[in-house]
């Protein structure tokens, strides 16, 4: 007897044998039991998940001698003919090779003839989206009002290409990709029946490569049996299909999360030498980060994740190596890299630089930064230093500037009293100046400062160019009927942009909504708020001392770099973040 490949030998013959499509099989079985059988069905989904197999099982259920029945007998002549593809009442048509209007006209002529053996004449059209528009239109009337003895079952991988007029005349079923755990279970069952020793890690590697398609997994297992014989290990699967082992992927993720740059470089070098696909590596690493993020934010959802028990243990350990903000930032970097890798000359270099960026990522939540700076102030003298006398002191960090500071490699927007440069490998972080005494109640001003980034985003949705102009601004005052927004002198052009009618209306509308009352908006340069006048040719020397007209006289009331270094809060901040002062602004 000729050899039969595993994908055909283990093709489902009953609804209960179909893996991962219970929502479809249950509906079809209930329809048969209730005698509510439609005249046309459309099965949609990616390759290898059971569309044609379901169509055949459904055809057997309708034409079985016991039928229509939810459990065809598989022993009667009708069932055997359908299983072998020789039934005259069940016609399987390839839409790709029979896509012309002439073939559809022939089908229309044949539907009027009664079935020869079973109760129904069933047409199964695979890849129906390949039919031409003329063929679709020729089929419309017959599909809408077919003879009582005719049933249509369509299958397609690209439902968007099927005419809406065809879809509207069918009952549509969307089949899902099969979870890896169910594919692993099925592969282990097949291996036991075929007297083959298959490691669980090897089965998982096959399932990963199949990407949700059981038929692809069964074909891969067939190939591996021919290659390896009666014992298949994970190394065999990786060697044949060029995949990265789960343990290597988890080790790479651990090196990135721990900031172990030499370790991740060593792993990437080994994978590149073994000829692994760097683009696929990025996708699998991105999927691992997604699982980490889900496990960290919603541990109770682990049962719905496409992972096995051994992977859950790894997620439990690695989820403690980074917070959610850093994982999101890393996922963003990998997603951007995946978009660029197809155009890269050196994929290894691109992947290495992306992973180094992820390893050096120090994204911290806004609340955490505020808490840490508050602790610094509380630890120096017990209370924050007053911002009264000469120049503004370092204040608790506002949420709006910190939203930008928390992103790797970005500096916070707005004005600064002392800018702190963190030495490598961390990103630069700057401490903004304390807001001046508010004219309106402090609560409203604090509300605007805390939610300034969200407010900017809302304004940007109304006037897109306004968002960029406000990124370098901050709220200064909240009055009875106005809000004052301040700009540094170097961003004076942004203040002029905000005075344009469209941008001004957008800002006024959103700020009125935030404060729950109608307010006007004013735009003001920071130096016009009562600070010491600064001449146009004002510069700062290498030590940070302000000079006027090129002379050595320091303006009265301006603190120099040395003065800031003596400030206990600034000194403590520099020590904590291993930083230095690079700029001083008022």
CB 82 within 8 A of CB 90: yes
Nearest Cα neighbor of 583 from 406, 420, 395, 424 is 420
Q: Which CATH superfamily is domain 6-174 in?
A: P-loop containing nucleotide triphosphate hydrolases (3.40.50.300)
pLDDT single digits (tens) 193-211: 989 999 888 898 898 888 8
Residue 56 CB neighbour total at 10 angstroms: 23
Phi, psi of 24 (to 5 degrees): -85, -45
Using 50, 70 and 90 to split pLDDT, how confident is the model at 344? confident
Dist. CA 431–CA 420, nearest whole Å: 7
All residues at 6 or more sequence positions from 396 whose CB lies less than 8 Å from its CB, including other chains? 370, 373, 374, 377, 384
| Secondary structure element (H or E) that encloses residue 286, with its range | helix 278-297
Handedness of CA 98, 100, 104, 109 (dihedral sign): negative
- Within 10 A of 150 (CB to CB), how many other CB atoms are there? 21
The H-or-E segment that residue 584 falls in is strand 579-584
**pLDDT attached to residue 329:** 87
Give counts: helices (H), strands (E), the chain: 26, 15
List pLDDT tens digits, range 307-324: 777 788 888 888 888 888
Question: Using an 8 Å Cβ cutoff, are 178 and 213 in contact?
Answer: yes
**What pLDDT score does 150 carry?**
92
Q: How many whole angstroms separate alpha carbon 346 and alpha carbon 338?
A: 13
Q: Report whether 51 contacts 43 (CB < 8 A).
A: yes
CATH number corresponding to 180-241: 1.10.8.60
Q: Exposed e or buried b for every residue in 236-271, given b needs 16+ CB within 10 A? A: bbbebbebbbbebbbbbbbbbbebbbebbeebbeeb
Whole-number mean pLDDT of the chain? 78
Spatial separation of the C-alpha atoms in residues 122 and 55, rounded to whole Å? 10
**CATH fourth-level superfamily of 442-529:** DnaA, N-terminal domain (3.30.300.180)
Write down the residue that tokens 């197999």 correspond to. Answer: 53
Backbone angles phi, psi at 510, to 5 degrees: -70, -45
pLDDT above 50: residue 167: yes
pTM above 0.85, yes or no: no
Strand, helix or coil for residue 164: helix
Fold of 246-359: Zinc Finger, Delta Prime; domain 3 (1.20.272)
DSSP one-letter string for 396-451:
PPPHHHHHHHTSTT-PPPS-EEEEEEEPTTSPPEEEEBPPPPPSS-HHHHHHHHHT
pLDDT, tens digit (0-9, with 9 covering 90-100), for 333-343: 898 888 888 88
Q: What pLDDT, on a 0 to 100 scale, did the predictor assign at position 321? A: 85
Which residues are bridge partners to 198 per DSSP? 232
Dump pLDDT digits (tens) for 95-149: 888 778 888 888 888 888 888 888 899 999 998 999 888 888 888 888 888 888 9
Task: Note the pLDDT of residue 495.
Answer: 85
**DSSP one-letter code for 132:** -
More confident residue, 382 or 182: 182
Alpha-carbon gap, residue 1 to 560, rounded angstroms: 93
- pLDDT, tens digit, 9 for 90 and up, residues 20-73: 899 999 999 999 999 999 999 999 999 889 899 999 999 999 999 887 899 999
pLDDT at 355: 92
Cβ 341 vs Cβ 282: under 8 Å: yes
C-alpha 571: how far from its chain's center? 41
- The string of DSSP codes covering 194-258 is TT-EE-HHHHHHHHHHHTT-HHHHHHHHHHHHHHH-SEE-HHHHHHHH-PPPHHHHHHHHHHHHH
Distance between CA atoms of residues 140 and 537, nearest Å: 80
Q: Give the pair of three-digit tokens for residue 1.
A: 């007897």
Phi, then psi, of 430 in degrees rounded to 5: -120, 145
How far is C-alpha 352 from the chain's CA centre?
Answer: 21
Helix (H, G, I), strand (E, B) or coil at 583: strand
pLDDT tens, position by position, 232-247: 888 888 887 777 888 8
Q: Is the dihedral of CA 79, 85, 86, 90 positive or negative?
A: positive
8 Å CB contact between 319 and 296: yes
pLDDT digits (tens, 9 = 90+) for 468-501: 888 888 888 888 788 889 888 878 888 888 888 8
pLDDT tens-digit readout, 356-407: 988 887 655 566 667 777 777 665 544 444 433 333 333 333 333 333 333 3
Contacts of 141 (CB under 8 A, 6+ apart): none
Asked whether 302 and 269 are in contact (CB, 8 A), the reply is: no
Q: Residue 80 corresponds to which tokens in the numbers above?
A: 């055997």
End-to-end CA distance of the chain: 89
Bridge partner list, 419: 430, 583
CA distance 380 to 372: 13
Domain definitions of the chain by residue range: 6-174, 180-241, 246-359, 442-529
Peptide bond before 425: cis, by omega within 30 degrees of 0? yes
Q: Are 420 and 579 in contact (CB under 8 A)?
A: yes
> Residue 14: which residues within 8 A CB-CB, separation 6 or more?
57, 71, 72, 74
pLDDT of residue 435: 44
Tokens of 231: 């014992």
Strand partners, 474: 486
d(CA 317, CA 269): 25
């Amino acid at each position: 007897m000729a050899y039969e490949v595993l994908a055909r030998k283990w093709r489902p013959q009953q609804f209960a044998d179909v893996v991962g499509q219970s929502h479809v099989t249950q509906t079809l079985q209930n329809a048969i039991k209730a005698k509510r059988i439609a005249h046309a069905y459309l099965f949609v989904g990616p390759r290898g998940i059971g569309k044609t197999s379901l169509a055949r099982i459904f055809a057997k259920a309708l034409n079985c001698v016991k039928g229509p029945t939810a459990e065809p007998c598989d022993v009667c002549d009708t069932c055997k003919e359908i299983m072998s593809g020789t039934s005259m009442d069940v016609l399987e048509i390839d839409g790709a090779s029979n896509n012309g209007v002439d073939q559809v006209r022939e089908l229309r002529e044949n539907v009027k003839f009664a079935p020869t053996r079973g109760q129904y004449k069933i047409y199964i059209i695979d890849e129906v989206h390949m039919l031409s528009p003329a063929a679709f239109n020729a089929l419309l009337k017959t599909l809408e009002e077919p003879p009582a003895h005719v049933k249509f079952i369509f299958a397609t991988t690209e439902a968007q290409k099927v005419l809406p007029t065809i879809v509207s005349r069918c009952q549509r079923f969307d089949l899902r990709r099969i979870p890896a755990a169910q594919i692993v279970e099925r592969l282990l069952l097949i291996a036991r029946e075929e007297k083959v020793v298959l490691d669980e890690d090897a089965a998982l590697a096959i399932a990963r490569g199949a990407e949700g398609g059981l038929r692809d997994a069964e074909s891969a297992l067939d190939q591996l049996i021919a290659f390896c014989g009666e014992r298949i290990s994970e190394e065999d699967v990786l060697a044949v299909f060029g995949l990265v082992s789960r343990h290597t992927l988890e080790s790479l993720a651990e090196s990135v999360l721990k900031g172990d740059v030499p370790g991740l470089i060593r792993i990437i070098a080994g994978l590149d030498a073994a000829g692994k696909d760097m683009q696929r590596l990025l996708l699998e690493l991105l999927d691992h980060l997604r699982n980490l993020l889900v496990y960290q934010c919603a541990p109770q959802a682990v049962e719905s994740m496409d992972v096995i028990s051994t992977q859950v243990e790894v997620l439990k350990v690695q989820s403690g190596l980074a917070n959610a903000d850093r994982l999101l930032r890393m996922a963003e970097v990998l997603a951007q890299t995946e978009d660029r890798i197809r155009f890269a000359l050196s994929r290894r270099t691109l992947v290495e630089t992306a992973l180094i960026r992820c390893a050096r990522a120090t994204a911290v939540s806004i609340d955490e930064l505020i808490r840490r700076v508050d602790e610094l102030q509380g630890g120096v003298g017990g209370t924050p230093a007053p911002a009264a006398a000469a120049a503004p002191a370092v204040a608790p960090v506002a949420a709006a500037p910190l939203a930008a500071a928390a992103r790797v490699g970005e500096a916070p927007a707005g004005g600064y009293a002392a800018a702190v440069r963190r030495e490598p490998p961390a990103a630069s972080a700057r401490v903004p100046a304390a807001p001046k005494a508010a004219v309106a109640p402090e609560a409203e001003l604090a509300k605007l400062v805390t939610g300034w980034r969200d407010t900017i985003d809302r304004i940007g949705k109304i006037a897109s160019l306004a968002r960029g102009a406000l990124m370098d601004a901050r709220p200064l005052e909240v009055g009875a009927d106005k809000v004052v927004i301040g700009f540094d002198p170097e961003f004076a052009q942004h203040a002029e942009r905000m005075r344009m009618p469209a941008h001004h209306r957008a800002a006024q509308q959103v700020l009125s909504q935030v404060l729950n009352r109608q307010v006007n908006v004013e735009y003001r340069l920071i130096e016009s708020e009562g600070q010491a006048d600064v001449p146009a040719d004002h510069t700062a020397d290498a030590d940070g001392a302000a000079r006027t007209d090129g002379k050595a006289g320091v303006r009265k009331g301006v603190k120099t770099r040395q003065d800031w270094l003596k400030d206990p809060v600034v000194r403590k901040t520099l020590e904590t973040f291993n930083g230095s002062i690079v700029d001083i602004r008022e």
